[in-house]
Structure 1
């Protein structure tokens, strides 16, 4: 049966069933997909650096070696920072608990007395925030084997990329138009990963400097947390803000916590609205609703790692849908309304 002869409800049913089966299948092999996806995106981030070395006359193998050494240096440095901060944080947890108890006791006379203890709720919230931070750090440190696999896979991808131009010229031939179309579409993913990484780095450095100037404990750790959580759309900023706010509350009181909130909010606003282009609406043509829903979808499939790469994975899905005439309408539904209106206006102008 030809797919073009199917009715619209039948197509919707088929596509929905396929999407559900694909979702369940990916969830079942999520432990395999996580290192694969992270290797691919690590490759996208570091491939331009390899090409830069090659343009400077450095041989391909040597270029890849230099980039991988740099990659390993970043991973090792991050692991050392995490381990050192986790050790110090675990030693200070009892002191923080005492400070939480002191704060709760000081405001207990102003808390309403209802059917449950507001004091216990506040205490549990503080404990929960520190436990979440500790689990994130512990999880990152325990992912050693996965990180090694990511480094190895990224190395092979970069080695292949160093020789791709020669092979492409020999093997593509009449498929050059299709290759050009794919390259143009995939450039969106590369641009996103590079821009997101650069702006997250600036935001993390700015946050770390702010917290260092404010005398907040583990300022470098929270700056790194801001860098990582910057990949999580909409929610990452708020999750990363909680730990340093609590430490500022312990050290300086409510004014200190408010100061940290205001400071990191200004930094985040500068990064997202000034330094980082409006990718969801302009560069990537993704609807903000799709971006937000993708966060939950990929988190369901891949766990916490899915939240970090939800947007680039959604871009890949959009690229795949755009590659076929039958599914191109789905890709258009994923675009922001402003993009579709602008495209319609341009088409109208071209027709006139």
Structure 2
């Protein structure tokens, strides 16, 4: 009898895993449709607290959604336009970088004479081709231009999602076999994801502003670009902030001087320690319920499945998946593997 039960449980787990594979394969094949929808959904999570706040001030929900959507459109258009202008300027200066790098390498030519390296500065400069970076920047400019074209549709989707929020409890009750438990799980998922996204967005904004201010004070070019990069990559757990620091630090060492490069490196370390290692964990705490390993693996998995948007939203997507798996017998075991401790049932 016990052997039969174990076999049944094993079969359920296999079936659950097979269902997940089919679902993920469908998401991968339909990424062009699903990714904008997912992005709109999580943007609605971030904006909904503002709608609730305006509701407490007795602003009608439809008017509150209109005000927030209008403000968001204006902010996105301003930031995207400014970013496109900075990227275009950056692209125009890229061809000059090879000559500047060669000049810097010639300045340290004496180091190559007594070291074991056989490469000369001229040979090293020959390996530096700005065409790759120029191609990358061109693709980013094209991506942002296309995003501007789809911005109106994205915000319309967000607005309709925000208007549908009051009807969500009724719809969940109609779909669930156990309305009370189903709504409790949905509410827990909404609360967890909203809390994470709102706090992470605020921390990312402050991080981006701190980086921009540091670069602007030091007189390093493209401060706005690197500040926006710090803001965006701060959503990526574990490695995002470190990746965002690499380009401006290299730029500072090459074109501003060794001392400026060291100062900027120290500034980035201080910002990342303050926001990434102290403020972020203290505010978010262990409320996510995900192990550190799962957070890192989810970054790779969702990035492969949905591209850059998946990397930015890897943590909230994993939270939703974990909460969705918890109520079922087979899914509960998978949820335990994703969590950072015993689950409360």
TM-score by length of 2: 0.86
Residue number among 197, 213, 216 corresponding to 1:193 in the alignment: 197
- Is the Cα–Cα contact under 8 Å of residues 280 and 287 in structure 1 kept in the other structure? no
Q: Does 1:263 align with 2:267?
A: yes
1:180-215: CA deviation from partner (whole Å, max 9, x where unpaired): 342123211111001110100111111111111110
Match of 2:315 in 1: 311
Q: Does 1:119 align with 2:124?
A: yes
1:69-121: CA deviation from partner (whole Å, max 9, x where unpaired): 11101210111111110121122223323211212333345341169x96158
Q: Does 1:274 align with 2:275?
A: no
- Is the Cα–Cα contact under 8 Å of residues 235 and 313 in structure 2 kept in the other structure? yes
CA RMSD of aligned residues (A): 3.1
Number of residue equivalences: 337
SS at match of 1:63: helix
Match of 1:68 in 2: 69
Match of 1:10 in 2: 11
- Is the Cα–Cα contact under 8 Å of residues 280 and 288 in structure 1 kept in the other structure? no
- Is the Cα–Cα contact under 8 Å of residues 51 and 68 in structure 2 kept in the other structure? yes
Q: CA deviation at 1:264?
A: 1.3
SS at match of 1:143: helix
- Is the Cα–Cα contact under 8 Å of residues 173 and 180 in structure 2 kept in the other structure? no
1:228-243 alignment, distance < 5 Å:
228-243=232-247
- Is the Cα–Cα contact under 8 Å of residues 280 and 291 in structure 1 kept in the other structure? no
Q: CA deviation at 1:286?
A: 0.5
- Relative distance call for 1:6 and 1:137 in structure 2 (3 A) is farther
Q: CA deviation at 1:63?
A: 0.4
TM-score by length of 1: 0.85
- Relative distance call for 1:54 and 1:166 in structure 2 (3 A) is farther
Q: Does 1:322 align with 2:323?
A: no
SS at match of 1:197: helix
Residue number among 148, 151, 157 corresponding to 1:147 in the alignment: 151
In structure 2, stretches of 5+ residues that fail to align are none
SS at match of 1:276: helix
1:1-352 alignment, distance < 5 Å:
6-111=7-112, 112-113=117-118, 119-120=124-125, 123-124=128-129, 132=136, 135-161=139-165, 163-164=166-167, 175-277=179-281, 282-336=286-340, 339-340=341-342
| Counterparts of 2:150 and 2:55, CA distance in 1 | 29
1:23-60: CA deviation from partner (whole Å, max 9, x where unpaired): 22211000011101001000000011011101101111
1:119-150: CA deviation from partner (whole Å, max 9, x where unpaired): 158625x7656654554454233323443332
Q: Which runs of 4+ in 1 moved over 6 A?
A: 168-174
